[in-house]
Amino acid sequence: MTKLTRDALAKYIDHTLLATDATNEQVLDLYREAAELGTFSICVSPNMLPVGGAWGSLDPDAEQAEPGEDAPKIATVIGFPSGKHHSNLKAVEAARAVTDGAHELDMVIDIGMLKAGHPELVEQDIATVRRAAPAPTLLKVIIESAALTDAEIVQACEAAERAGADYVKTSTGFHPAGGASVEAVRLMRETVGDRLGVKASGGVRTYDDAVRMIEAGASRLGMSASAAVLADAPAE
């Protein structure tokens, strides 16, 4: 198994809090913890942005200041968790999230469209969000891989690439079918090559889980147990 140091592994992680009962104070704590851990980003619900109103301040009237280059990036979710939202509403949500400080968007596709045999509609859905939030905003597409066949995973990844996405992502972590698997991550990486990133999310709870996902081709990891995972990583 590949050895990844604590600092190296941290740069793969989107430190995540998407609980329905999350509070503003918990999001602030998440951001502070992410900064201490050195994770790449935090990922929170869109109505929790901007974080603290002013990067760590609970005072919405406080003067806002852009964090330093090494500060965690801010990611949020779009059409979460079902993906069963009109594309134009996903687009509005995406544009608002960028205005509120999001650097990255993790959007959920309508997997029912895919399963009904309409990957072209999935592509249109993704493209609508991409137009609303163009580069340099990073767009990740959640395909809910555990609920898909291998052929559908390939179709979803191909649709995401055609629509201009930057990443494909395994899971919301909310679907009863489950989260990320090594097999799904490997297939997603084989499909997109080095052209897109692959994010493994949902059920990544240990250091060994994280390393296996990276070995399979993940270039980003979504997890809420970041502190515990990194505590088990070698210091050097």
Token pair of 72 as six digits: 């965690």
> CA-CA distance, 174 to 72, in Å (whole number)?
24
Residue 13 C-beta-side C-alpha neighbours within 13 Å: 33
> CA-CA distance, 51 to 71, in Å (whole number)?
13
> CA-CA distance, 224 to 130, in Å (whole number)?
26
Residue 35: burial class (beta carbons within 10 Å; 0-12, 13-18, 19+): middle
H or E element that contains 222:
strand 220-223
Indicate the DSSP class of residue 101: T
User: Is residue 12 left, alpha or beta, with left meaning phi > 0 and alpha meaning psi from -120 to 50?
Assistant: alpha
90, 110, 166, 199: the active-site residue:
199
Cα dihedral 190, 91, 53, 66 sign: positive
14, 106, 110, 125: the active-site residue:
106
106 noted as active-site residue: yes
Question: Are the C-beta atoms of 52 and 27 separated by less than 8 Å?
Answer: yes
125, 140, 166, 169: the active-site residue:
169
> CA-CA distance, 31 to 51, in Å (whole number)?
8
> CA-CA distance, 41 to 199, in Å (whole number)?
13
Residues with catalytic roles: 106, 169, 199
